[in-house]
Amino acid sequence: MRRLRRILAARRGLFGERRMVALAFLVPALFLYSVFFVAPIIASGGIGLTDWRGIRSPEFIGAENFVQLFLDSGYVTSVWNTVVLILYGLLIQIPIALFLAYLLWQISKGVRVYRAILFFPVVVAPVAIATMFSVFYHGEFGPINQFLSSVGLGAYRQRWLSDFDLVLHSVIIPEIWRFIGLHVVILLAGLQGIPDELVESAVVDGAGRLRIFLRIILPMLKHILLISMILMITGSFKSFEFPLILTDGGPGTASSFLALYMFRRAFVYQQYGYGSAITITILLYALVLTLVARKLLGGERASY
C-alpha cells in the first residue's frame, strides 16, 4: 500500500509524469480550438467594425455597419423571414413532435421502428434534401404539380419557388419537416423520464387524459421542451442550405434568411466587414431569444 502511494505521489506531483503527459494530451485540442474557433468568434466582433472588401485592407468605421443594416431592406426581410421560420417551429414543428412523442410513449410495439424512420431525415445532408425538394417543387415537371394534375386538382398547380407570396413557405416546409424526428426523440426521452407512479396515481384519482396531459405531463416536460425550443431557435438562425439551393434567397430577397444573407454579403459581394456585422447580430438575437425562452419556461438549469 505504501509503495502504491509512493508511486502515485511521484506521478501526481506538479511536474510528475502523469501531469506532463496530460499536458501533452491537452495541448493539441486546446491549441486548435483556441486558434480556429474561439479566436475567430472574437475576431468577428472586430471585423464587424470595419469596412473590409475583397483583398483591400480593412478600414475602421465604428458602428456604421450596424446602422447600415437597419436601412438595408434585404437584411430586414431576412430578419423577418427568420422570425417566420421560428414561428413555424414553435407553432407547427414542436407541437407535431410533442404529439407524436406522446403517442409513441403510449405504444408498446414498433416504437423503435417509428423512431428510426422519423429520425432518418435528420441524418441526411441538408444539401441532398434541398436538392430533392428542388425536384419536387419543379414548376412544370415536379411530382407535386404532376400529382395535383393527376388527381384533378390541376387548378392548384403552383410556381412553388418563384411565386412571391408562396416561396417563403415552400422553403420553410422542408426545413420544418426535416427536424420533426429530432424533437420527437428528445421529447420521447423526456416523457420516458417521468416517473410512472405520478401518472398512475392520477389515473387512480380518476383524472381524464387531457387533464393528466396538461396538469402532470406538460409541467414535467418543461425542461425538455425548453431544450427542444432552444435547439429549434438556434437552428433557425443557421438556415442556409435550403434557401441557397432552392431559391438563392429569391425572388429578390423574398426567401432570404439571416445566415444566407450573411453568406451572400461576405462571399458573393466580398464584404467581410458587413458580413461580420450580420454575424454579430445573429449571435445577439440567438442569445436574447434563448434567454427569453429560458425565462418563460423558468428552467434555469435546463441545459445541464
Partner 1 sequence: MKSSQVKVTRAERRLRKSASRKRIARVTGYHAIVGFFAAVALVPFIWVVMSSFKASGAILTTPFSLPEMVQLTNYMNAWRQGGLATGFRNTMIVVPSAVALTLLVTTTASYAIARVYKSTSLYLYFTAGIMVPLHAIVIPVFIMFRELDLTNSLQGLILVNTVAGIPLAVLIMVGFFSGVPDELEEAPYVDGANTAQVFFHIILPMARPGLATVTTLTFINVWNEFLFAVTLNSVHRMWVLTQSIRALQGTFVTDFGLVTAGVMITVLPVMLVFVFLQEYVTRGLTAGAVKG
165-194: which residues touch partner 1 (CB under 8 A)?
Answer: 177, 180-182, 185-186, 189
Q: Which stretch binds partner 1 (CB under 8 A): 67-75, 80-88, 200-208, 268-276?
A: 268-276
Q: Which is nearer to partner 1, 43 or 296 (CB)?
A: 43
Closest approach of partner 1 to the CB of residue 167, in Å = 17
* End-to-end CA separation in angstroms for the chain: 39
Contact status: 250 vs partner 1 (CB under 8 A): no
Q: Can you tell me the distance from the alpha carbon of 279 to that of 271, in angstroms, rounded to the nearest whole number? A: 12
d(CA 75, CA 20): 51
Residue carrying the nine cell digits 426581410:
77
Nearest to 290 by CA among 228, 220, 201: 228
Alpha carbon of residue 85 to chain centroid: 11
Region binding partner 1 by CB under 8 A among candidate stretches 65-73, 110-118, 152-160, 162-170: 110-118
On whether the CB atoms of residues 70 and 76 are closer than 8 A, the answer is: yes
Nearest alpha carbon to residue 270 among 39, 61, 56:
56
Name which position in 91, 116, 198, 291 contacts partner 1 (CB under 8 A): 116
Q: Please tell me whether residue 292 binds partner 1 under the rule CB under 8 A.
A: no
Could you say whether residue 275 binds partner 1 (CB under 8 A)? Answer: yes
Q: Residue count at the site for partner 1 (CB under 8 A)?
A: 94
**Under rule CB under 8 A, residue 200 binds partner 1:** no
Cell numbers at residue 255, please? Answer: 426567401
Region near partner 1 per CB under 8 A, out of 84-92, 136-144, 158-166, 293-301: 136-144
Interacting residues of 81 by C-beta distance below 8 A, sequence separation 6+: 168, 255, 256, 257
* Residue 43 lies near partner 1 (rule: CB under 8 A): yes
DSSP SS3 for 248: coil
Residue 137 touching partner 1 (CB under 8 A): no
Q: Which is nearer to partner 1, 122 or 297 (CB)?
A: 122
Q: Which of 92, 173, 231, 297 binds partner 1 (CB under 8 A)?
A: 231
